[in-house]
Chains A and B, each alone.
Chain A
């Protein structure tokens, strides 16, 4: 069992929880478990089958893009976090 911190804007789609307990041996499996528990999150995390480009997943303090992406191993007790890039333009 690991935990994942939900960003404030997505908490309404995750039962208003800031943290969720999740199961999985990789980051991809963890996200599958999370979106299985809270299907409404899928629209905001994924565009088709790919994570939206402004959605970053951290394992501890490290962005999984600098590890093995969705294949990054997760150990019991690990702490993950969804961190959106905040961008705008005109």
Chain B
């Protein structure tokens, strides 16, 4: 899988994730699907509603966000391509918690955020047997 974002959209992603540091932040990726290539045309940050004291290593999207953004994408001829979230003070590698809660097909953009700002961003996709993630190609241009 390849995920393409403009520099401006990727900056919107990292700016949001820096704003929630030291807690996790996240949101949805909406855009166009063309074979194995996904082009993000907009991002939709959402609130983290996990228990406050656990938000430094956990993210849960607010109630209703999935339905609202999926309906928006469907109504506008777009596709809900996946979601992004931060790993504060941790590498951009999916955790076991990520795997257990992951969905197939979705593009999982994980960004490592450190005290001095966003670090590496990496793209992942759950294998269809749910056993692990495969890394995809993240293209920012």
Contacts and interface: CB of A to CB of B under 8 A. Distances in A.
Contacts, number: 82
Interface string B65-94: 111001001100001100101011010000
Tell me whether chain B's interface is mostly helix, strand or loop, or mixed. mixed
B65 A86 contact: yes
Contacts of B60: 85-87
Contacts of B80: 8-9
Contacts of B50: 87
Interface in A1-55: 7-13, 18, 43-44, 54
Contact of A90 (B65, B79, B95): B95
B70 A8 contact: yes
Given A7-B70, A83-B66, A88 B24 contact: yes
B4 interface: no
B128 to A, nearest CB: 8
B97 A89 contact: yes
Given A84-B66, A90-B95, A10 B104 contact: yes
B119 interface: no
B66 A7 contact: yes
A90 B74 CA distance: 31
A9 B125 CA distance: 11
Nearest to A43: B130
Contacts of A88: 24, 26, 58-59, 83, 85, 95, 97-98, 101, 108, 110
Interface residues of B, number: 36
B98 A9 contact: no
B129 interface: yes
Contacts of A43: 128-130
Given A87-B60, A88-B26, A9 B65 contact: no
A88 B66 CA distance: 14
Interface of A: 7-13, 18, 43-44, 54, 58, 81, 83-90
For the complex of A and B, the 6 pairs showing the least CB-CB separation, nearest first, are A89-B97, A90-B87, A9-B103, A86-B61, A90-B90, A88-B85
